[in-house]
Chain A
Amino acid sequence: MTVTTAPARPAILQKPVSFAPWISTAILLALWELAGRQLSGTFVLASPSEVLRYLAEEWRMMARALAVTLGNAALGFVFGNLAAIALATLASVWPRTERVVAGLALLVFCLPLVATGPILRVLFGPGDGPQIVLAALAVYYTTLIPLLVGLRAAPATWFDLVRSYGRGRVSALVHVRAMAALPYLFTGLQIAAPAAFLGAMVGEFTGAERGMGVLTVRAIRALDVEMTWALATVATGVAILAYAVIGALARRVLKAPPPVILAAPAPAGARSSALQTGAIVTVLALLAWWGAIRVFDLNPFFAKGPGDVFAALILADDAAETRATLAGALGETLVFLLPGYIAGLLAGAGLAMLLVLMPILAGTAMPLAIALRSVPIVTTAPLVVLLLGRGATGTIVLVAVMVFFPTFVACLHGLRQAPGQIMDVLDSYAAGPVTRLIRVRIPAMLPAFFAAARMAVPASVLAVTVVEWLATGAGVGSLMALSASLSDYDMLWSAVVLVSALSALGYAAVGAVERRILTLYAPEQVA
């Protein structure tokens, strides 16, 4: 059966109509002010009035820092998203490469910031290079994945039409896929905006001269709570603004809501088995790793190749000890990672469903959700851990927040794409909102949910390692930072390899679950 329908307007096309966002923002600010006053003297929270006072005094310095970081984040955003579009185009025109492209892209995205930062600094020398590259690395993947989904999200009849004109894959890409993918692209871009800012800030930790990241380090060390929260507030404000601007742009560009399909998939090219893809990706990654060290002529003191890591983990006298250290650290990390990941997914999907059932809440929940996600984790990680204690709670909450927002946006988008004709059928049976949710909306949401769940694997690994590095001093994030400061680069690279490989495996595991479930509910996505 092929049904092509015009669904309800997707999330990013809906204009806020009520005053609810303003009222809820005011309530939030009031609560924050209260909490700030309650906690004054504990050096963890500054109230909005204190933040405003600080900004009024120091706005010149803050503006200069913002200009630097924003400039780097914007460049990284552009380069990263262009790279994502190029990769997605390649995968679409030449479907055989899709899984290898996605696999390699995933591996690169999984490279932990703690390790890539200093290496980029040595490569680029002084200047803005590492900040821009880290911003680009932080965004390209979150754009690539929705884009790959979007490029498939077109009815089979349209491809038949292209074929009936005797045209090939390129025409299909230009005339069908590109149009179908636009809403997905905009969703990706919206998620990318705060990530670019975060990437640029972390890049500044590698020895940049100025910027918001540099000021953050200074503020936390100096116990300057006003400055810390002022930085977090400005960074969050900028990220929310970027999110809103991209949303507004999407509404202008996407004049007609895109049709959504429940259709048999276009026959995709023959696919190699997952195992084969994994092997190809591994070989290519090893070659690229080995080649990069030689091309850039990196010093073997800190640039360890595949052979060095193999020796450190398997051949060396202390290999067993190295493996035990790594396993211990990874174990510590997993304890925080898994609950945070699952909690983030459930909260994201749950809130999206709640908003569909009770649209009145959207005005309150949306700004809060956007704000939560836009607060740069490097600023908040130390503060949240101070607030919630050094136990598991702080880290788990931070991981969940990182996972929550992309899941929420994707799920909301998916839920609202329920096909209109099927909703009409349910209307005629006088089915209530809960029935519609279960029978139509949730199945329509699944592809987006799984795209988000996969994307959340590397994001949650990023979050947990950053928190461990900056705040808790436990787990593999801390081990990597410590190895770098003690020049134990064998350990550092081994950790990088393991973290990246495990993230990729986690991603593949989510993908396996996804294929099973989508085969039942959304077969057009599982060609």
Chain B
Amino acid sequence: MQKTMNRRALIGGGAAAAGTLALGLAPRRLFAQTPVTLQLSWLHSAQFAGSYIAQDRGWWIEEGLEVALSQGGPNAPVEPPVVSGTALVGISAADYTAAAVEEGAPFKILGVAMQKNPFVIASLPDNPVNEPTDLVGKRIGMALANTPVLQALCALNDVDIDGIEIVPTQYSAQPLIAGEVDCLLCWETDLPVAMAMQGIDSVTMLMADFGYAVHSQTYIATEDSLANRRADLVALMRGEVRGWDAYREDTDAAAELTLQMYPDAGLDLETQKLQAARQVPLMFSELTDANGFGWWTEETVAANIETLGLLGRDVTPDLWDRSILEEVHGT
């Protein structure tokens, strides 16, 4: 498999390189470009716009990488392509990575794009949930699969989960708007944005502000890649860091680039601009200002281990490997 995948990737990269030449965009360096795939965790959107900037401005080509951005989807788990070597790096989250490692996947977390977990409790302004205790007596719409997330939040804030009525709903804002539930468990950057675009105000309580510490949009790679493909990993992460720093400078431009690169994704510019702006506070903090994009410390990892423990995941700090990021940021 390893062999055939490499060959396929090589052919694909060759074709892509030929395409670049045909367009008159000669690579800036004359070395052969190494083809690698970055497996995204969801459909193309501003959620990954930092990567699009790195791609668009040729920052990976400068590093000698020909990066394919492979989009995810509702039935596209990130872990299998990374384990099998189809993708060099995948975008996951600490809880999913921990689950995969428990099942024997040799993953390490190389970087953390979302310092704060994007999970929120979204509610309507006339019946708001501003803090965890407000949940008592309310009906919350969520996938039953996310029950451990709610349990963890309750445990962290001494809230009795039996006081909350869980209504199993699909991932949509509709039940909240229709009044079937009082609040939703969702991401800060999707359903509340969708409601805002439909002219419906909502209140969001970021779970990360109430102790729910789970690194999200984390970069994962296998131990094998860390041992044998360090240069490629450093090059990939260098492009990511530059891309996301540029993203922060101008999120509107990042949203416009997203639509320009993926005209067939059915994206709406205003929605993407709002989403791009709303994920900035999740991705950048004093910690990243001091140390650079993607950073973490022993303290943030300790907080993650505690929350993951509440989610039933037993992990140790060596799930995180900062060596690539240290090389990128030159520390």
Contacts and interface: CB of A to CB of B under 8 A. Distances in A.
Nearest to B4: A297
Nearest to B95: A486
B5 A125 contact: yes
Contacts of B83: 299, 301-302
B1 interface: yes
Given A64-B264, A214-B265, A221-B194, A382 B74 contact: no
B194 A222 contact: yes
Contact of A487 (B103, B177, B264): B103
Given A42-B174, A207-B71, A301-B105, A218 B194 contact: no
A65 interface: yes
A205 B198 contact: no
A114 to B, nearest CB: 6
A214 B168 CA distance: 24
Contacts of A482: 145
B43 A217 contact: yes
Contacts of B268: 222, 224
A221 B186 CA distance: 11
Interface string A5-17: 0000000000000
B70 A470 contact: no
Contacts of A227: 266
Most buried by B among A117, A202, A222, A386: A222
Interface string A317-351: 00000000000000000000000000000000000
A489 B105 CA distance: 11
Contact of A220 (B37, B70, B172): B172
Contacts of A473: 143-145, 168-170
Interface string A113-146: 1100111011001100000000000000000000
A217 to B, nearest CB: 6
A205 B96 contact: no
B15 to A, nearest CB: 12
Interface in A263-315: 296-302
A250 interface: no
B133 to A, nearest CB: 27
Interface residues of A, number: 60
B96 A485 contact: yes
Interface string A197-218: 0000010111111100011011
A44 B174 contact: yes
B73 A205 contact: yes
Most buried by A among B100, B190, B197, B264: B264
A119 to B, nearest CB: 8
A218 B174 contact: no
B149 interface: no
A207 B73 contact: yes
Contacts of A219: 266
Given A299-B83, A301-B80, A474-B144, A61 B168 contact: no
Given A223-B174, A485-B96, A214 B43 contact: yes
Interface in B264-322: 264-268, 271
Most buried by B among A227, A300, A478, A486: A486
B135 to A, nearest CB: 20
B187 to A, nearest CB: 10
A301 B172 contact: no
B84 A122 contact: yes
B75 A122 contact: no
Interface string B68-89: 1011111111011101101000
B17 interface: no
Contacts of B266: 61, 65, 214-215, 218-219, 227
A481 interface: yes
B189 to A, nearest CB: 11
Contacts of B144: 473-474, 478
Contacts of B31: none
Given A223-B174, A487-B100, A122 B81 contact: yes
Contact of A210 (B12, B79, B265): B265
Nearest to A118: B77
B104 interface: yes
Contacts of A217: 43, 73-74
A484 interface: yes
Contact of B76 (A207, A220, A487): A207
Contact of A208 (B73, B86, B100): B73
B173 interface: yes
Interface in A402-421: none
A126 B268 CA distance: 25
B210 interface: no
Contacts of B1: 296-299
Given A122-B86, A223-B174, A296-B1, A218 B100 contact: no
Q: Which 8 A-B pairs have the closest CB atoms?
A: A207-B76, A487-B100, A205-B75, A297-B1, A210-B264, A223-B194, A215-B266, A486-B99
Interface of A: 42-44, 61, 64-65, 113-114, 117-119, 121-122, 125-126, 202, 204-210, 214-215, 217-224, 227, 296-302, 382, 385-386, 390, 470-474, 478, 481-482, 484-490
Interface of B: 1-2, 5, 8-9, 12, 37, 43, 68, 70-77, 79-81, 83-84, 86, 96, 99-100, 102-105, 143-145, 167-175, 177-178, 190-191, 194-195, 197-198, 263-268, 271
Given A125-B5, A215-B266, A221-B171, 6 more contacts: A43-B173, A207-B73, A215-B265, A218-B43, A221-B191, A473-B143
